[in-house]
Structure 1
């Protein structure tokens, strides 16, 4: 039975994979040509994104606890991960010399966490599991590229790169939780694949907005 969920996760991830050329910023960071001021903006945008996503995942976990404990476990793990990432983010902010107190967040970057919050309030938790898992695939790859480039081109320490190292690391446990949650929803006939795909498509587009907005600063 698990094979069905794995297939759905794999095909949804493939269908929602972003255009390799759609991200204007990560290739510049990889080449070492992105200005440090843009890295600082990336760091400061994440100081808004991470706590917002953590609270959204906590809300999804609470909503799912009674009727969909498998999805609740997935979102609880996500929320815990966001908390850990937030702790590591401080070193990146400091390494960039970012001035958090005077920074004004950019609408194009904050559309993603705003939509995650919308999903937390309105979407069926199992549908969000599928949509988010598909979206996370590209994010992990971006983080791996950035972590390498920060060391090679910008001289950042391991501590300063820890935020990106965290998200770049594969998480078989989280993948298994997603598979179990999706399979349970499929078996109970309460997974709406069409809606989940729509949610994933919007997440992909809002993430593209995040990167393109920052890319305009270079």
Structure 2
């Protein structure tokens, strides 16, 4: 029996979900033991990542041949633009000048670098599933970080808006994900290569968080 797009995405998110103890940084934010220096590094690294991902999603939108996939990638790019404003508020709230120069950490920049590689070397259909397959973990991490920042670091809703944006499911976007994957499936696409890409993306995301965990 042919899998539906919804079944495919649910299976990918389940298979790509990290183990409970794989992420070493998010629990520190949740219990208030993450250092201010590590939170500033989080903001500084994301200030570099978000514009990169924005351009990557626009590149994938330009390359996609499936109309629904073009719409999804364009929507994801638009979301990065919204996220950037909230990210600057977070940086300011924890005492980081969002316009200051920052030496990037290679462990934090592996994810966006590989995402950009996918846009240049991968098939947009494969890239789509790899990206969407990692969203469940990313959204959960953002929800936990937001709650921890409010509880232990005294941040308000403006300062946590960046994380809240990614932590909150958007039904219209999720419906678009299903349409885009269904178009790909109906065209004869198969997801095996995409899952390999997704495993690499998830590994690089964990590298991002765990690099931050080592900052005291």
Instruction: Place the TM-score, normalised by the shorter chain, in its bin.
Output: over 0.9
Counterparts in 2 of 1:123 and 1:45: CA distance versus 1, 3 Å: same
Counterparts in 2 of 1:175 and 1:108: CA distance versus 1, 3 Å: same
Residue pairs, 1:15-164, within 5 angstroms? 15-64=15-64, 67-99=65-97, 100-164=99-163
Q: Which position in structure 2 is the counterpart of 1:213? A: 211
Residue pairs, 1:165-204, within 5 angstroms? 165-189=164-188, 191-204=189-202
Tell me the TM-score normalized by structure 2. Answer: 0.96
Q: Per the alignment, in what secondary structure is the counterpart of residue 103 of structure 1?
A: coil
Task: Report the Cα offset of residue 102 of structure 1.
Answer: 3.7
Structure 2, unmatched stretches of 5+, are none
Total equivalences in the alignment? 215
Q: Deviations over 1:153-195 (max 9, x none)?
A: 0001211111111111112122111111111111110x23111
Q: Deviations over 1:87-106 (max 9, x none)?
A: 11111010111245242110
Q: Per the alignment, in what secondary structure is the counterpart of residue 18 of structure 1?
A: coil
**Contact preservation (8 Å) 1:59, 1:120:** yes
- Rounded to whole Å, the distance in 1 between the matches of 2:192 and 2:28 is 35
Range with bigger deviation, 124-133 or 32-41: 124-133
- Rounded to whole Å, the distance in 2 between the matches of 1:114 and 1:59 is 14
Counterparts in 2 of 1:2 and 1:172: CA distance versus 1, 3 Å: farther
Task: Report the Cα offset of residue 2 of structure 1.
Answer: 9.9
- Rounded to whole Å, the distance in 2 between the matches of 1:98 and 1:85 is 17
Q: Per the alignment, in what secondary structure is the counterpart of residue 23 of structure 2?
A: coil
**Contact preservation (8 Å) 1:2, 1:183:** no
- Rounded to whole Å, the distance in 2 between the matches of 1:102 and 1:54 is 20
State the 4+ residue runs in structure 1 displaced beyond 6 angstroms.
none
Task: Report the Cα offset of residue 13 of structure 1.
Answer: 1.0
Q: CA RMSD in A?
A: 1.4
**Contact preservation (8 Å) 1:22, 1:208:** yes
